A and B are shown apart, each in its own frame.
Chain A
Amino acid sequence: QQPVQSPQAVILREGEDAVINCSSSKALYSVHWYRQKHGEAPVFLMILLKGGEQKGHEKISASFNEKKQQSSLYLTASQLSYSGTYFCGTGDSNDYKLSFGAGTTVTVRA
């Protein structure tokens, strides 16, 4: 079953912050976050594993609440380069099957 992402789209001005949420109805072992530019393959941002951790990559960070089967991606002080569609992917208990949400389109304007 696919995870549910929200919001579907967000428009930001440079320097603003945003949060993208991802939730699943099933127990998760992993949550993966990707950014995709138009016409290109998704690019890996970070992975969070069962254990409720938080990770960061420059000004992009994420958290994983294992009990609630939810993850959030935090875009801090957004830059023009952050524009794109963000996908969360969730791994089931054995982490073989990876299902993706519908994506969140982020537009950062100058």
Chain B
Amino acid sequence: SQTIHQWPATLVQPVGSPLSLECTVEGTSNPNLYWYRQAAGRGLQLLFYSVGIGQISSEVPQNLSASRPQDRQFILSSKKLLLSDSGFYLCAWKRFRGEKLLFGSGTQLSVL
């Protein structure tokens, strides 16, 4: 069966520190992968999506970046975190066009 793993579940980081969040999908190949961020009490903001290895589309120009080094691995990074980067980060995937989007369990990031 297909599953998505996202870690860590919670993270507290100081301002100016780097960030690396990892997401992996099992049981499928060539998934479409997504990173969303949700500020407290707000909606889901699409940050990045990828339809293949090395292919990254950025929706929000800021100090975050994403990479897809392997088919089923999606990484969200930052060199220097800002207070405004705090939020609930969700990785998601779907197999192909017209398929449902499934979310990982999320990472609650607090930047202090």
Q: List residues of chain A with CB under 8 Å of any chain B CB.
A: 2, 29-30, 32, 34, 39-42, 44, 47, 49, 87, 89, 94-103
Contacts and interface: CB of A to CB of B under 8 A. Distances in A.
Contact of B43 (A49, A98, A103): A103
Contacts of B98: 29-30, 47, 49, 95
B48 to A, nearest CB: 11
A41 B105 contact: yes
B97 A95 contact: yes
Contacts of B34: 98
Interface residues of B, number: 24
A42 B92 CA distance: 10
Chain A interface SS verdict (over half) = loop
Nearest to A100: B44
B64 interface: no
Nearest to A97: B49
Given A89-B101, A98-B34, 14 more contacts: A2-B43, A30-B98, A40-B105, A41-B90, A41-B106, A42-B90, A42-B103, A47-B100, A87-B44, A94-B97, A97-B49, A98-B46, A99-B46, A102-B43
A19 to B, nearest CB: 19
B11 to A, nearest CB: 15
Contacts of B99: 47
10 contacts: A34-B103, A39-B108, A42-B90, A42-B103, A87-B44, A94-B97, A96-B49, A97-B46, A100-B45, A103-B44
